[in-house]
Amino acid sequence: MYKKLFIPGPTHVRDEILLAQAAPMIGHRAKEYQDLQAEVTPKLQKLLYTNQRVYLYTSSSTGVMEGSVRQASTKRVLNTACGAFSRRWYDMTVRNGIPCDLLEVPLGQAITPELVDEALSKADYDAITVVMNETATGIMNPVKEIAALVRQKYPDVLLLVDAVSCMAGVKIEFDAWGLDVCLAGVQKCFALPPGLTVCAVSDRARERALKVPNRGYYFAYDQMDKRYDKHQTPATPAISLIQALNKQMDDILAEGLENRWARHLEMAEIVRAWARKYFAIYGDERYLSHTVTNVSNTRNISVSQLNDELGKRGAMISNGYGDLKDVCFRIAHMGDLQVSDIKWLLEQINDILGL
């Protein structure tokens, strides 16, 4: 049976979007493709409140996380971690032989500007990585406040933001906040099938990258820039996904960005209220995600049995991530899911568990 996905990626994709991928194929050096990229890019710039470059990478987010940290630093990187995805960026930095240090907080806690300030003051850093929405724990880091601190006190430090599970679900003002890299795969809040990553890059970050000799090739901004003004990518892109993204961006802008942010928060508040009533919310409640709620499994239910039953009714939620596998479960409320979907899901869970 078809299951509506309430997992934190891939998430539910509307039929119109699935069908938009079935448009006839076009050549990636043909005018039809140039027109497509020229159309979709300004829509993405609007989404991110930026006048700077937005690249389309045919890759999952992990690839772009690696590509961006590889071209961010000629000195030392501070990686921040508050869960499995942010920790991944540290592992990538280490594996690429880039000098780095880890600022890590216990699961369920947030990276704060105070912690970042203390850590950045200890060595000569020129880049920092932050995951905005830590999908593994349901914590949303205060990136705007972190950016304000970094821009004010550490002007040479590039701020790289993984917004994979919140871009297109929460407001991210790339230029006003002073971010340098902000990336997200499209299978989460964009509600598209996986395979494409949207990445905004500041002019400052593009200049820095030119000074990094071992910056790689596929993700290198200077390679992307060779074709950027022609509205092309250096390698063959996932054309069908970009066609679907173009359609989805029209729908996102037609919904209205402020409406979209408000809908995500409303869905989050409904799930949080439910979680508080019947279970508990995991982590520091001052920093809860708007797009995924991590519920403490205080009733010790079998999440896999619950999911089996939900499956019969056409829905799927997610267990806890990594160390939290059995102690939590996660309900995603992102992308094109509506308040009515969330209410329906919670009714099904209550019915199955007899709550």
Ligand X SMILES: *Cc1c(COP(=O)(O)O)cnc(C)c1O
> Where does 48-196 have alpha helices with state H?
61-70, 84-95, 113-120, 143-153, 174-177
- Whether 127 contacts 79, CB under 8 Å: no
Torsion over CA of 142, 148, 150 and 153, rounded to 10 degrees?
A: -140
Q: Binding segment for ligand X among 23-31, 41-49, 56-64, 304-312 (CB under 6 A)?
A: 56-64
Query: Does residue 85 bind ligand X (CB under 6 A)?
Result: yes
Among 165, 240, 243, 289, binds ligand X (CB under 6 A): 165
Rounded least distance, CB 236 to ligand X, Å: 19
Rounded least distance, CB 63 to ligand X, Å: 7
**What residues contact 77, with CB distance under 8 A and at least 6 apart?**
69, 93, 98, 99, 100, 101, 125, 126, 127, 128, 129
Q: How far is CA 316 from CA 62, 189, 247, in A?
A: 24, 17, 26
Query: Does residue 9 bind ligand X (CB under 6 A)?
Result: yes
Burial label, 354 (beta-carbon count in 10 A; 0-12, 13-18, 19+)? exposed
Q: How far apart are CA 208 and CA 161, in angstroms?
A: 16
Q: Binding segment for ligand X among 11-19, 129-137, 150-158, 244-252 (CB under 6 A)?
A: 129-137
Query: Does residue 185 bind ligand X (CB under 6 A)?
Result: yes
Rounded least distance, CB 215 to ligand X, Å: 20
In the shown chain, the binding pattern of residues 15 to 54 toward ligand X, with x for contact by CB under 6 A and - for none, equals ----------------------------------------
Q: What's phi and psi for 240, nearest 5 deg?
A: -65, -40
Query: Does residue 186 bind ligand X (CB under 6 A)?
Result: no
Query: Does residue 10 bind ligand X (CB under 6 A)?
Result: no
Query: Does residue 60 bind ligand X (CB under 6 A)?
Result: yes
Rounded least distance, CB 162 to ligand X, Å: 5
Residues contributing to the site for ligand X (CB under 6 A): 9, 60-62, 85, 131, 133, 135, 162, 164-165, 185, 194
